[in-house]
């Protein structure tokens, strides 16, 4: 008899699981979405549950060509696969999860906030066996519910929220849609930024390269296009070093790669940005000790999703960024 032989697979073999689609999965085909989140499930089984209609989106049957929309609710049926098909499951090593507990900055029954290091993707995929959410689930096997509230880029460090209850997840998604969560980032950019405060509003367009890599560009297109989204950020100058500038940013919208694309478009690319930055400068900075992108999500203010009490979260600047900042002050 088929049975769930992978106790670390967080899609139940006893009952259906529901996943709410966020911006990171918007426009993704349903089959690719399932392949990404059902890590150890054979591809043949994923297509089987799709074709049989066991996977539903917003309570309706869909086919393999369906593209996801924000807030779609995906029903994933009980996952039952044969033992020999999951015998090669890779488990995280202890050193991959050891940092988690010391990076917790807030936790209660509904919410977990961690200070994510640079270099960790929030979820697995694209050649990665484990992202932060998979590592947390592995480290806390008894937790009944652990879901990402939002995402930040792999190269970015800072505050990452994980819901421990579905009601908390739904409420925080509502808050995000209504811009009721204040997020602040700090970054070092190339160039001499002179304005103490600057509001930037740019239309951004998502595109994909032939290899499937996501890119975001500034566009002047006005037409109603699901790939076009207005972005807005308020930037503050914290300190100028001439060749570099230390900035703080308050997000008004939360678009994919928003800060990176806006700043590159303005001629102030973030140091260490390997997608939108100054590649020759990045290479030179690596020799000076900056081996990552200088972008950190340091502050978040919101109402608690269940108690409605004010909640302020802060993540200190990582040591490697603090060290580079100190070098510029000498």
Contacts of 94 (CB under 8 A, 6+ apart): none
pLDDT-based confidence at 8, cuts 50/70/90? very low
Residue 153 falls in the annotated catalytic set: yes
Which listed residue (153, 224, 225, 278) is catalytic? 153
pTM given for the model? 0.73
Contacts of 286 (CB under 8 A, 6+ apart): none
Q: Give the relative orientation of helices 132-139 and 94-102 as an angle to the nearest 10 degrees.
A: 90
- Residue 141 is predicted with a pLDDT of 84
φ, ψ at 221 (rounded to 5°)? -65, 135
- Residue 127 is predicted with a pLDDT of 53
Instruction: Tell me the two tokens of residue 15.
Output: 């009952």
How far is the first Cα of the chain from the last one, in angstroms, to the nearest whole number? 68
Q: What is the pLDDT of residues 221-238, one digit of tens each?
A: 765 566 788 999 999 999
In the chain, CATH 3.10.290.10 covers 17-86
Mean pLDDT calculated for residue range 283-312: 96
Mean pLDDT calculated for residue range 116-121: 92
pLDDT-based confidence at 143, cuts 50/70/90? confident
Is the pLDDT assigned to residue 88 strictly greater than 60? Answer: no
Beta bridge partners of 67: 29
Fold of 17-86: 3.10.290
Is the pLDDT assigned to residue 1 strictly greater than 80? Answer: no
- Residue 194 is predicted with a pLDDT of 96
In the chain, CATH 3.30.2350.10 covers 101-177, 182-329
Q: What is the CATH number of domain 101-177?
A: 3.30.2350.10
Q: What is the pLDDT of residues 41-87, one digit of tens each?
A: 887 788 888 888 899 999 999 988 888 988 899 999 988 765 444 44
User: What is the arrangement of strands in the sheet containing 56-57, beginning at the earlier edge strand?
Assistant: 17-20, 73-76, 56-57, 60-61
φ, ψ at 115 (rounded to 5°)? -95, 95
Fold of 182-329: Pseudouridine synthase (3.30.2350)
Q: Sort strands 147-148 and 182-190 into parallel, antiparallel or unpaired.
A: unpaired
């Amino acid at each position: 008899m088929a049975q769930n032989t992978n106790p670390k697979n967080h899609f139940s073999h006893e009952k259906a699981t529901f996943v709410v689609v966020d911006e990171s999965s918007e426009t993704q085909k349903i089959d690719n979405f399932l392949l990404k989140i059902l890590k150890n499930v054979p591809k043949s089984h994923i297509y089987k549950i799709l074709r049989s209609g066991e996977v539903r989106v917003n309570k309706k049957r869909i086919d393999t060509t369906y593209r996801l929309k924000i807030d779609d609710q995906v029903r994933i049926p009980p996952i039952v696969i044969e033992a020999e098909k999951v015998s090669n499951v890779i488990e995280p090593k202890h050193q991959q999860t050891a940092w988690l507990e010391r990076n917790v900055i807030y936790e209660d029954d509904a919410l977990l906030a961690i200070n994510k290091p640079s270099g960790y993707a929030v979820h697995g995929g694209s050649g990665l066996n484990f992202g932060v959410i998979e590592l947390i689930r592995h480290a806390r096997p008894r937790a009944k519910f652990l879901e990402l509230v939002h995402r930040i880029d792999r190269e970015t460090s800072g505050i990452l929220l994980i819901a421990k209850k579905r009601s908390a997840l739904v409420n925080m998604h509502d808050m995000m849609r209504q811009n009721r969560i204040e997020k602040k980032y700090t970054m070092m950019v190339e160039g001499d930024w002179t304005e103490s405060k600057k509001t930037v509003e740019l239309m951004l367009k998502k595109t994909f390269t032939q290899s499937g890599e996501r890119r975001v560009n500034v566009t002047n297109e006005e037409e109603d296009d699901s790939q076009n989204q207005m972005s807005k950020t308020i930037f503050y100058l914290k300190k100028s070093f001439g060749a570099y500038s230390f900035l703080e940013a308050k997000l008004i919208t939360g678009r994919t790669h928003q800060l990176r694309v806006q700043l590159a478009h303005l001629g102030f690319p973030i140091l260490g940005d390997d997608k939108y930055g100054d590649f020759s400068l990045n290479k030179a900075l690596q020799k000076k000790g900056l081996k990552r992108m200088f972008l950190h999500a340091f502050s978040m203010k919101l109402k608690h999703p269940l108690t409605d009490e004010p909640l302020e979260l802060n993540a200190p600047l990582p040591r490697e960024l603090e060290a580079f900042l100190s070098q510029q002050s000498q």
